Amino acid sequence: MANYQKLAQIIVKNVGGKDNVNSVTHCVTRLRFYLQDESKANDEVLKNTPGVISVVKSGGQYQVVIGNTVTDVYDAVCKVLGINSDSNEENNEKLAKKEGIFNTFIDVISKIFQPTLACLAAAGMIKGVNGMFEAFGWYSANSGFGLLMDTIGSSMFTFLPIVLGYTAAKRFKLDPFVGLVIGGALCMNGIQASTLAQNGKAVYTLFKGTIFATPIYKTVFGIPLITMDYTSSVIPVILIVLFASQCQKIFKKIVPQVLAFFFVPMLTLLFSLIIGFLAIGPIASFLSAIISWIVMTVRNFSPALAGLIVGGFWQVLVIFGLHWGFIPIYMNNLSTLGYDNVMMPFFAGTFTQCAVVLAMLVKNKSKKLKEIGWPAAISSFFGVSEPAIYGVTLPNKTPFIISCIASGIAGAFFGQFNLREFFMGGMGIFELPAMIKPGSNNLTNMYIGLVGAIGSMILAFVLTLIFYKEKVNEKDNSIAQPIKGKVVNLNEVPDAAFSSGALGKGLAIEPSEGEVYSPVNGSIQILFPTHHAIGIKAENGAEILIHIGMDTVKLNGKYFEPLVKQGDHVKKGQLIEKFDVNQIKKAGYPTVTPVIITNSNDFKEVKSDELKDNKFLEVIPKDNN
Is the domain of 326 the same as that of 391? yes
Which residues, at least 6 apart from 239, have a Cβ–Cβ distance to it below 8 Å?
Answer: 276, 280, 284
Please state, in angstroms and rounded to a whole number, the distance separating the CA atoms of residues 49 and 43.
10
User: Are residues 28 and 170 both part of a single domain?
Assistant: no
Strand order through the sheet with 485-488:
485-488, 505-511, 593-597, 543-547, 533-538, 522-527, 569-570
CATH number of the domain encompassing residue 497: 2.70.70.10
Residue 326, pLDDT > 60, answer yes
**Residue 508: what pLDDT?**
93
Indicate if the pLDDT at residue 612 is higher than 80. no
Look up residue 340 and give its DSSP letter.
Answer: B
Q: Is the pLDDT of residue 379 over 90?
A: no
285 and 307, same domain (yes or no): no
Same-domain pairing of 553 and 463: no
Q: Which helix (H) or strand (E) holds 560?
A: strand 560-562
Listed range (235-244, 327-336, 489-498) with the worst mean pLDDT: 327-336
- Active centre residues (catalytic): 27, 547
* Residue 324 shares a structural domain with residue 457: yes
pLDDT (tens digit per residue) in 261-312: 999 999 999 999 999 999 988 887 777 667 667 767 777 888 999 889 889 9
Which residues lie across from 543 on neighbouring strands?
Answer: 537
- Are 58 and 41 part of one and the same domain? yes
Domain end residue (candidates: 471, 494, 522) = 471
- Asked whether residue 325 carries a pLDDT value surpassing 80, the answer given is no
Q: What string of DSSP letters covers 387-400? A: HHIIIIIHHHSHHH
Q: What is the pLDDT at residue 59?
A: 58
Residues 189 and 227 in one domain: yes
Work out whether the CA dihedral 18, 19, 25, 30 comes out positive or negative: negative
Domain range for residue 79? 4-92
pLDDT at 501: 87
Please say whether the beta carbons of 28 and 71 come within 8 A: no
More confident residue, 430 or 138: 138
Same domain, yes or no: 607 and 505: yes
- Reply yes or no on whether the pLDDT at 97 is more than 50: no
User: What's the chain's average pLDDT?
Assistant: 83
- pLDDT, residue 86, reads 44
Is residue 29 pLDDT above 90, yes or no? no
Q: Are residues 418 and 522 in the same domain?
A: no
In a domain, residue 97? The reply is no
- Report the pLDDT value the prediction gives residue 22, as an integer from 0 to 100: 85
| Cβ–Cβ under 8 Å, residues 465 and 363 | yes
**pLDDT given for residue 241 in this prediction:** 95
Whole-number pLDDT of residue 114:
64
The answer to whether residues 352 and 403 touch, using CB atoms and an 8 Å cutoff, is yes
For residues 423 and 453, membership in a common domain is answered with: yes
**Least confident among 410-414, 426-430, 563-567:** 426-430
Do 458 and 483 have their domain in common?
Answer: no
34 vs 602: CA distance, rounded Å: 33
By mean pLDDT, which of 132-141, 254-263, 541-550, 567-576 is the weakest? 132-141
Q: Tell whether 22 is covered by a domain.
A: yes
Report the b/e string of 132-164 with b at 16+ CB within 10 A. ebbbeeeeeeeeeebeebbeebbebbebbbbbb
Alpha carbons within 13 angstroms on the beta-carbon side of residue 165 total: 28
* Of 65, 92, 119, the domain-final residue: 92
Question: How many other C-beta atoms are found inside a 10 Å radius of the C-beta of residue 396?
Answer: 20
Closest CA to 507 of 547, 539, 537: 547
Residue where one domain finishes, among candidates 273, 301, 329: 301
What CATH number is attached to the domain comprising 47? 3.30.1360.60
Query: Which of the residue ranges 79-83, 124-128, 384-388 would you say has the lowest mean pLDDT?
Result: 124-128
Return the amino acid letter for 595.
Answer: V
Tell me: pLDDT of 592 over 90: yes
More confident site: 428 or 145: 145
Angle 519-525-526 from CA coordinates, rounded to 5°: 100
Tally of domains within the chain: 4
Distance CA 48, CA 162 (A): 49
Number of helices (H) and strands (E) in the chain: give both, helices first.
Answer: 23, 21
List of residues 6+ apart from 400 with CB closer than 8 A = 315, 356, 389, 393, 394
Q: Which band of pLDDT confidence, cut at 50, 70 and 90, is reported for residue 91?
A: very low
Quick check: 87 pLDDT over 60?
no
Task: Note the pLDDT of residue 90.
Answer: 36
Q: Are residues 318 and 452 in the same domain?
A: yes
